[in-house]
Amino acid sequence: MNRTLRIGTRGSALALAQTGAVADALERAGASVEIVTVSTPGDRSAAPIAEIGVGVFTSALREALATREVDIAVHSFKDLPTAADPRLSLAAVPAREDPRDALVARDGLTLGELPVGATVGTGSPRRAAQLKALGLGLEVVPLRGNVDTRLRKVTDGELDAVVLARAGLARLGRLDVITEALDPIQMLPAPAQGALAIECRVDDVDTEHLLQSTLDDQASRAAVAAERAMLAALEAGCSAPVGALAEVVEDLVDDGTTDGRVVLRLSLRGVAATPQNEILRASATGDVTAADQLGRTVAAELLDLGAAVLSGPEA
């Protein structure tokens, strides 16, 4: 391919960092690329994400791609609505970063070391619900803004701590500020957290092939597919109090030999909070090639437990 591929991205420091890494990988593969910044309503509004709705960061980028303003779109996967866009192809899901949430607290404190009444900033209903469910007496304070703005609340002494995606800090080279990576047992990340979604137009098969062969990671794609199938089956938006984490695990099956045989399986854990802040949990393991089905299975279990009363602000 000798055309220059235009890669669309949001203009935040985080978006530029992750798009830069994608551009580098494509250049190493011999492609010629150019980065194009697309401003999104999510970047222009200071309102809580829960109020401005699904896709605030991603629809403008998808539009720019569909209308041929750009050839490739790089999204934080967790910001993408679960509804597919028939004009676009999810050409690559690169190897995922560590998907955990991270605590950044004053004085190097961990979650368990924060005193009763300590203020913890997060704009995410999912993080808020799981923090409250720990029963530590933490005071969850609404918070929005880019990574730097959120970190400053702690350095300025306005809040005792904030919770952010570890992956965002990793991409910005700010892992040093983390005082605790939160165990998924306490805090399941957002579906697809830490993963990127790289899209191109469905009819642009050359670009699709380049992205797929250069950047796609099958295990990350399967894990994210399971998490998002769970989210979709709960009909919850990206800001709903739903967490999910799928991992490819080795499973030993008895095949009659003394050692048994190791097969790869996909394990999925899900959490949903009811409006009463009751935490519901479910998990299952399935075939790596049946990720969507696994997601629907865990969602069905959550619905059985009472998650039906649950709906995101826009669901």
Q: Residues with catalytic annotation?
A: 79
- Give the phi and the psi of residue 216 in degrees, each rounded to 5: -75, 140
Which residue type is seen at 106? R
Helix or strand run (H / E) with residue 5: strand 4-9
Residue 164 is a binding residue for ligand PBG (CB under 6 A) = yes
The distance of closest approach from Cβ of residue 35 to ligand PBG in the complex, given in angstroms and rounded to an integer, is 18
- Give the phi and the psi of residue 264 in degrees, each rounded to 5: -90, 130
The distance of closest approach from Cβ of residue 164 to ligand PBG in the complex, given in angstroms and rounded to an integer, is 4
Alpha-carbon distances of 253 from 88, 139, 210, 259, rounded to whole Å: 39, 46, 37, 9
Residue 123 is a binding residue for ligand PBG (CB under 6 A) = no
Residue 299 is a binding residue for ligand PBG (CB under 6 A) = no
Residue 165 is a binding residue for ligand PBG (CB under 6 A) = yes
**DSSP alpha helix (H) spans, the chain:** 13-28, 41-44, 49-52, 59-66, 125-133, 147-155, 166-171, 205-215, 218-233, 291-305
Count of chain residues binding ligand PBG (CB under 6 A): 10
Q: Out of 5, 23, 31, 167, which residue is the one contacting ligand PBG (CB under 6 A)? A: 167
The distance of closest approach from Cβ of residue 299 to ligand PBG in the complex, given in angstroms and rounded to an integer, is 21
* In contact, 239 and 82? CB cutoff 8 Å: no
Segment 178-197, which members bind ligand PBG (CB under 6 A)? Answer: 193-194
* In contact, 60 and 40? CB cutoff 8 Å: yes
Handedness of CA 244, 249, 255, 260 (dihedral sign): negative
The distance of closest approach from Cβ of residue 120 to ligand PBG in the complex, given in angstroms and rounded to an integer, is 13
Cβ closest to ligand PBG, residue 81 vs residue 194: 194
Residue 211 is a binding residue for ligand PBG (CB under 6 A) = no
Q: Which stretch binds ligand PBG (CB under 6 A): 73-81, 111-119, 136-144, 215-223?
A: 73-81
Q: Which stretch binds ligand PBG (CB under 6 A): 64-72, 104-112, 164-172, 198-206?
A: 164-172
Residue 94 is a binding residue for ligand PBG (CB under 6 A) = no
Q: Which stretch binds ligand PBG (CB under 6 A): 165-173, 200-208, 285-293, 302-310?
A: 165-173
Q: What is the DSSP string of 198-264?
A: EEEETT-HHHHHHHHHHH--HHHHHHHHHHHHHHHHTT--TTSSEEEEEEEEEEEE--SSSS-EEEE
Q: Out of 10, 62, 78, 201, which residue is the one contacting ligand PBG (CB under 6 A)? A: 78
Site of interaction with ligand PBG (CB under 6 A): 14, 76, 78-79, 164-165, 167-168, 193-194
